[in-house]
Amino acid sequence: MIELKNVSKFYYQNGIIASGFTKVNLKLNIGEFVVITGESGSGKSTLLNVISGLDTYEEGEMYINGEETSHYREVDFEDYRRKYIGNIFQNFNLVNSYTVYQNVELVLLLNGSSKKDIKDKVLDIIDTVGLKRYKNTKVSKLSGGQKQRVAIARALAKETPIIVADEPTGNLDTKSAKQIMKLLHEVSKDKLVIIVTHNKEQVEEYATRLIQMHDGKILEDKVIEKVKNDNEIEIKEYKNITILNRLRLGFRNTFNIFTKFILILFVFFFISEVLLFEYTSLRKRSKDLDLTGANVLFTNSDTKRIVIKKNDNSEISKSDLEELGKIDHVKRVVEDDVLLDTNITLRDNEYYYYLDGNVDSISSYEGDLTYGRMPEKDNEVIALAAEYDWYLTDDYENVLETEFNLTDAYGVKTATKIRIVGIKISDTYRDRSIYYVSDKLLNNLRFANNEEYSNVTLFFEGKYYTSESYNRHIVPSNNVPSGYAYVSDMMEVLCPYYDCVNRPLKISVSNIYYSQDLNITVSKEYTKNNFKNILNTDINYEDTFENIYVNTDDYNKLFNKATYQSSVFVDDEDNAYLVNDKLTELGYKTLVIKDSIVNDGRTVAVIMQIFTTIFTVGLIVALFFISYFVIKIILKSRSIYFTTIRILGANKCIAKQILDIELFLNSTLAYILCLVELYLVKIDVLKLATLKKLVPFISLKEIIIMYVILIVMSQLISNRFSRKIFKNSVMKTMAEEVR
Ligand code: ADP
Ligand code: MG
């Protein structure tokens, strides 16, 4: 069966050659119960390991079933171990986290049996070794004697012709030791059993042959009982482990040690989190970059905005506006679109603060506030802060609830006081702040705008006055009757006898759309003392004495004649062209704002982008190594597991696949957890502001890309880990584990 001719085993360690055993000649046959004794260090274990193919030999010849083995390579010995050898060790080498049943079942699963077929067999064997009651107990909870019974059961399940036991009772008390030896004897009829022991008395009654070793040599080889059987024996052929069983073991290993499962899950969760965070931040940054452009004419450079005019420059009527609102993907129609580009500037009395931005109607504001409250009065506003608006983002405590003066186009304070009562820090990148104001304030701004964008000429007392030559404003008021004007007493100098009452006044307005004249009569002069009463206003005389007040309807005829330019906002910038086509069809001239944005300073931005990308890749690599080392520590116990299944006959490839499956499952679960977290953030159950900002950047595509990266990472970790484990021979890993 097994024959050794002049076999020697040497160890090379630090340049010194040590001898395991030298020139051993031995012939062992089926049916023998061989007991090897000898003092410690005499070479018993080394001999046993060479016989069981766990270790190599350097000299001589070893025959297995008549076949010479010097040409055997690792795979051949793997095959040999699998078919011939059942090992029993002093330290059991069981899978502690498996139950008794699972430990015995493991060897059969590895040998290609299907789970269902082997159930009875496994239970039978467990019964044979007397552990029926413990079949569902985890091995870690058993006593030493019981553990060794499991090891015997496992060796039996393997159905090999040879059972090799190295000091199987070394860790047991005398009573259990006796029982184990008895059991071994009982179950191993018709097998070759080779037992190494210190304690000869325990086995003497069963031994058919006694070999004594000394100093690496066989001192005595005494046959006690001759065994006749010298026939060729039949070797059971094995299939490879089925894919289903690989999955089953991978699955089992994922969950069977709960703390380990949670720790690895945590590591992968951490990886997923960082990956998702980094990747989406990267996407957000590149999107922000796209938005950093500007347009000097249209300062509201919202990429969802489309500016429209009629093809023939005619007015846009209320029904036109209604029709626009009904177009698919149009979210909002802004009638007087010039207002969107109106820049307002707010100054305090000391001219210390300088706040500026675009305006919009408070009615179009949606969302929550970062600081402060919603407006309650007409002069109260909300600010949507731009990225670098220091006053609003950093100095908000001083800005909130403070009264500021609105300035005119020349930066001079006007009579209008404005209070910022709420601030929202923008979720997305924006380079201009927006002030959401009341409709009354918006109207005032509209008038100022209309005046600014038109040429206004006054004809009074034989002279023309243009807006360039005379800083005089036309102001609407409901207190002035239609067809009349109220002027300040400061105008007296222009009129005969210093009296302007009843003098005619002609106002001409022209702009790119129309020209309009208004002939009215001055009916009242207001003074510093009476103007507040007359005009029912609370502004200062100094701020208004040059103004000419006219009836609101008259004013509207001049400045608020009709709408000629509007803007529509689409629901998503990707739909801008779709809506644009529809608008063109309806007879509008359009300007899609996102096409008209100029990206200056782009080069710097692109370089920045390259750096952040490099940084992200570096981060992923760093993440890989960190998680690898953490998982390596967590999986340390796995290394014993893999040694065990290799002793049982699984090759490296199978062992690796089982680990692949385990890490695949773990990372998938962690990823699902991560997605659940994101979902909870999205629906506001979890309040994580930073994550919330990134949610809009995560689509199905990103989710898939992230998953692929994570899985690749987990498989790389698995590869690296198994490479480390399998670099050494089974013997060496075993030796390392015992240490
Ligand atoms: P036994 O099992 O009889 O106590 P071993 O077979 O373990 O003895 O050891 C036999 C000899 O081989 C001893 O001298 C021991 O020091 C040496 N030896 C065993 N394993 C190694 C090893 N991995 N490296 C170097 N020397 C070893
Ligand atoms: Mg030993």
pLDDT at 600: 58
Angle among Cα 231, 233, 238 to the nearest 5 degrees reads 170
Please state, in angstroms and as integers, the Cα–Cα distance from residue 446 to each residue in 215, 292, 689, following that order.
108, 28, 37
Q: How far apart are CA 500 and CA 549, in angstroms?
A: 14
Sequence letter at residue 682: K
Please state, in angstroms and as integers, the Cα–Cα distance from residue 577 to each residue in 310, 322, 591, 692, 708, following that order.
18, 20, 10, 29, 33
Ligand closest to 90 (CA) is 2
Work out which ligand 1 atom sits closest to the CA atom of 166: 2
Which residue, judged by its Cα, is nearest atom 10 of ligand 1? 43
> How much distance in Å is there from the Cα of 41 to the middle of ligand 1?
6
Q: How far apart are CA 473 and CA 488, in angstroms?
A: 12
Ligand closest to 46 (CA) is 1
pLDDT at 739: 47
pLDDT at 735: 66
Ligand closest to 213 (CA) is 1
3-state secondary structure of 719: helix
Q: Which two three-digit tokens encode residue 166?
A: 């190295």
CB 183 within 8 A of CB 168: no
Q: How far apart are CA 404 and CA 407, in angstroms?
A: 9
> How much distance in Å is there from the Cα of 30 to the middle of ligand 2?
23
Work out which ligand 1 atom sits closest to the CA atom of 18: 26
Work out which ligand 1 atom sits closest to the CA atom of 46: 6
pLDDT at 716: 92
Q: Which two three-digit tokens encode residue 236?
A: 């059971």
Q: Where are the alpha helices (DSSP H) in 396-515?
A: 396-399, 439-452
Q: Which domains does the chain have, with CATH numbers?
A: 2-239 (3.40.50.300), 244-291+606-738 (no CATH), 295-335+564-596 (3.30.70), 337-448 (no CATH), 454-559 (no CATH)
Ligand closest to 41 (CA) is 1
> How much distance in Å is there from the Cα of 595 to the middle of ligand 1?
80
Q: Where are the alpha helices (DSSP H) in 236-379?
A: 243-255, 258-291, 318-325
Q: Identify the DSSP state of 93.
A: -
Mutational pocket test of ligand 1: of 37, 45, 90, 167, the residue with most ligand atoms within 8 Å of the beta carbon = 45
Residues with C-beta less than 6 Å from any ligand 1 atom: 11, 13, 18, 20, 38, 40-46, 735
Q: How far apart are CA 249 and CA 117, in angstroms?
A: 17
User: What is the pTM for the complete model shown?
Assistant: 0.63
CB 375 within 8 A of CB 381: yes
Work out which ligand 1 atom sits closest to the CA atom of 48: 6
Q: How far apart are CA 442 and CA 335, in angstroms?
A: 12
Q: Name residues of the chain where pLDDT drops below 50.
A: 739
Which residue, judged by its Cα, is nearest atom 1 of ligand 1? 41
Ligand closest to 16 (CA) is 1
Closest of 249, 65, 46 to residue 160, by C-alpha: 65
> How much distance in Å is there from the Cα of 166 to the middle of ligand 2?
7
> How much distance in Å is there from the Cα of 184 to the middle of ligand 1?
26
Which residue, judged by its Cα, is nearest atom 12 of ligand 1? 20
pLDDT at 143: 93
Which residue, judged by its Cα, is nearest atom 22 of ligand 1? 11
> How much distance in Å is there from the Cα of 536 to the middle of ligand 2?
110
> How much distance in Å is there from the Cα of 40 to the middle of ligand 1?
9
Please state, in angstroms and as integers, the Cα–Cα distance from residue 552 to each residue in 135, 478, 537, 621, following that order.
96, 6, 15, 69
pLDDT at 469: 65
Burial class of 182 by CB neighbour count within 10 A (0 to 12, 13 to 18, 19+): middle
> How much distance in Å is there from the Cα of 211 to the middle of ligand 2?
15
Q: How far apart are CA 447 and CA 452, in angstroms?
A: 8
Distance of CA 56 to the CA centre of its chain: 48
CB 193 within 8 A of CB 18: no
> How much distance in Å is there from the Cα of 637 to the middle of ligand 1?
25
In angstroms and rounded to an integer, the radius of gyration of the C-alpha atoms of the chain is: 46
Work out which ligand 1 atom sits closest to the CA atom of 42: 3
Please state, in angstroms and as integers, the Cα–Cα distance from residue 527 to each residue in 480, 488, 530, 534, 540, following that order.
15, 6, 5, 9, 12
CA atoms within 13 A on the CB side of 528: 2
Please state, in angstroms and as integers, the Cα–Cα distance from residue 4 to each residue in 220, 556, 626, 687, following that order.
16, 116, 49, 73
Which residue, judged by its Cα, is nearest atom 7 of ligand 1? 45
Q: How far apart are CA 110 and CA 113, in angstroms?
A: 7
pLDDT at 293: 61
Strands (E), 94-186: 162-166
Q: How far apart are CA 182 and CA 234, in angstroms?
A: 26
